[in-house]
């Protein structure tokens, strides 16, 4: 009964005119950036963070959440029609979706992508409503030692699930932690790593770092490699599925939803890992694995359901524990902090309208997305003809205005440019920038909980091992690191990412 009354509160918040408007803006923008290759949800949310400063917290987070799961829908449109994934999680959809389009079944591929996404999003949001409150209650039992150990586990897990070299991913996390330490000491107020620059007294601005690494860095990378866009299926015929296609899609949608719901919760998991895992499993369980890559509908239905379920369950650790499971969730935490809200289990009890309003808005947003995506396919296709060299100056101008407007400080614009170059350099060196952003967000919290635990225990480091929950979390982190460093596991991991 408590769940029903909480959902009633959530829908009363989500269905207000203002929040419906921001939810619509979020899913519309999400679909737009999902469709346009080279502009992901991380870059867009980073660019829009300054705008959220003047919005009510609920409206701001409803809009940002809409951008994230809306991009999962939009990315499939370009993947299917022109074999160019607009979003990293839609790479797998392109394998079979585009082959279906070539056979004249583009409408069916788009329909199952939208319907599978809607079903998975609905189920994942229900799981979020069901499991988030008890998890938040459990987290209220946590002291500083437990929080420190949980964050260590989160960072280690994000390394194990990042593609590429583990050493590089660890180096990125350490770089993020170091950048997060610049500014004033949290207890004594002594400046650290500021190089005697007054502008760094409060540390690097989160918005400038995020916009630079993901916005500007992405633009430089796209300019280097502007895609030639050739529309294969300019005319989408019937969106109706045949009876056989519908039957063949049911099991992949259910399996994809289950896989995405579990992987979305894991740090470093989220939408991309879910879609890859779903495709691999569908190929293994299929009676006709040779059909995959040639237009198998299961190769569209499974991954599309998985990436949406993964996108929405990744909100569980962010809303209940205040720990981001991927770069988008790190930006969400940044948005909460900008609004003066401390992320963590107290959000559920102290801000129930915010917590339940976001959950209810996801159901509303998923319904909006089905209506936005299927009837407006023609409009999204036309958008793809806009040349990138006309888009990027507008994006850069928007980034500069946005980052300046947060603190009215020109130094933030220079910081953004610097991090843009750094982001591009890291991509060229095969270093994923995502772990760095997670380290940057978690770093100050990690330090605070470490020092608080040491103060309470009067400087005894054994406090992390004598408390059962803290010790269990650290043991899990150690096991995760040891397992992933084993040569056989490393080989399998590399093969999985290649696939």
pLDDT of residue 496: 54
- In angstroms, the CA 411 to CA 417 distance is 10
pTM of the model: 0.77
Number of alpha helices (DSSP H) and beta strands (DSSP E) in the chain: 24, 2
The answer to whether the beta carbons of residues 444 and 180 sit under 8 Å apart is: yes
The answer to whether the beta carbons of residues 377 and 364 sit under 8 Å apart is: no
Quick one: pLDDT band at residue 384, thresholds 50, 70, 90?
low
Quick one: pLDDT band at residue 338, thresholds 50, 70, 90?
confident
- 378 phi and psi, to 5 degrees? -55, -40
Query: In Å, what is the CA distance from 353 to each residue of 62, 91, 361, 492?
Result: 12, 36, 11, 44
- Over the stretch 462-478, which tens digit does the pLDDT of each residue have? 999 998 889 998 998 88
Residues in the chain: 499
- H helices present in 326-408, as ranges: 327-338, 346-350, 352-373, 377-383, 388-407
Res 89 pLDDT > 80 = no
* H or E element, residue 439: helix 433-456
Who has greater pLDDT, 254 or 74? 254
pLDDT of residue 229: 47
Instruction: For residue 256, give the nearest of 294, 311, 295, 293 by alpha carbon.
Output: 311
pLDDT of residue 233: 45
The answer to whether the beta carbons of residues 211 and 416 sit under 8 Å apart is: yes
């Amino acid at each position: 009964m408590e769940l029903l009354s909480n959902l009633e509160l959530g829908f009363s918040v989500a269905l207000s005119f203002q929040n419906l408007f921001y939810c619509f803006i979020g899913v519309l923008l999400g679909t737009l950036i999902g469709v346009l290759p080279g502009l992901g949800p991380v870059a867009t949310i980073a660019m829009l963070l300054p705008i959220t400063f003047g919005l009510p917290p609920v409206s701001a987070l409803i809009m940002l959440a809409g951008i994230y799961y809306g991009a999962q829908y939009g990315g499939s449109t370009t993947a299917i029609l022109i074999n160019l994934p607009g979003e990293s999680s839609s790479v797998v959809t392109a394998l079979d979706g585009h082959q279906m389009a070539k056979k004249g079944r583009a409408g069916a591929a788009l329909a199952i992508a939208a319907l599978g996404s809607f079903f998975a999003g609905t189920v994942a949001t229900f799981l979020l409503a069901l499991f988030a409150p008890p998890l938040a209650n459990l987290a209220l039992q946590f002291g500083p030692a437990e929080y420190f150990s949980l964050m260590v586990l989160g960072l280690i897990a994000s390394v194990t699930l990042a593609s590429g070299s583990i050493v590089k991913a660890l180096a990125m996390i350490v770089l993020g932690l170091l950048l997060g330490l610049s500014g004033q000491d949290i207890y004594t107020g002594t400046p650290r790593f500021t190089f005697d620059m007054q502008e760094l007294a409060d540390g690097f601005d989160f918005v400038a770092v995020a916009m630079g690494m993901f916005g500007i860095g992405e633009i430089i990378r796209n300019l280097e490699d502007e895609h030639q866009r050739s529309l294969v299926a300019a005319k989408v015929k019937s969106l109706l599925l045949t009876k056989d296609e519908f039957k063949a899609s049911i099991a992949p949608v259910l399996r994809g939803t289950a896989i995405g719901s579990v992987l979305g919760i894991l740090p470093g998991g989220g939408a991309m890992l879910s879609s890859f895992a779903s495709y691999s499993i569908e190929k293994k369980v299929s009676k006709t694995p040779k059909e995959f890559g040639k237009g198998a509908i299961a190769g569209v239905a499974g991954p599309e359901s998985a990436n949406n379920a993964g996108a929405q369950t990744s909100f569980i650790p962010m809303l209940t524990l205040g720990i981001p499971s991927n770069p988008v969730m790190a930006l969400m935490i940044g948005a909460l902090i900008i609004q003066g809200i401390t992320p963590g289990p107290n959000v559920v009890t102290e801000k129930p309208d915010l917590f339940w309003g976001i959950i209810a808005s996801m159901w509303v947003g998923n319904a909006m997305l089905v209506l936005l995506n299927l009837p407006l396919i023609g409009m999204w296709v036309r958008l793809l003809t806009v040349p990138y060299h006309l888009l990027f100056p507008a994006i850069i101008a928007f980034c500069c205005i946005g980052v300046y407007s947060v603190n009215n400080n020109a130094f933030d614009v220079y910081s953004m440019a610097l991090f843009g170059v750094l982001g591009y350099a890291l991509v060229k060196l095969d270093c994923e920038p995502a772990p760095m952003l997670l380290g940057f967000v978690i770093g100050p919290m990690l330090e605070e909980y470490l020092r608080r635990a040491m103060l309470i225990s009067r400087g005894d480091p054994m406090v992390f091992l004598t408390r059962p929950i803290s010790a269990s979390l650290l043991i899990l982190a150690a096991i995760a690191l040891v397992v992933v460093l084993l040569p056989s596991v490393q080989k399998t991991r590399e093969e999985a990412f290649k696939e």
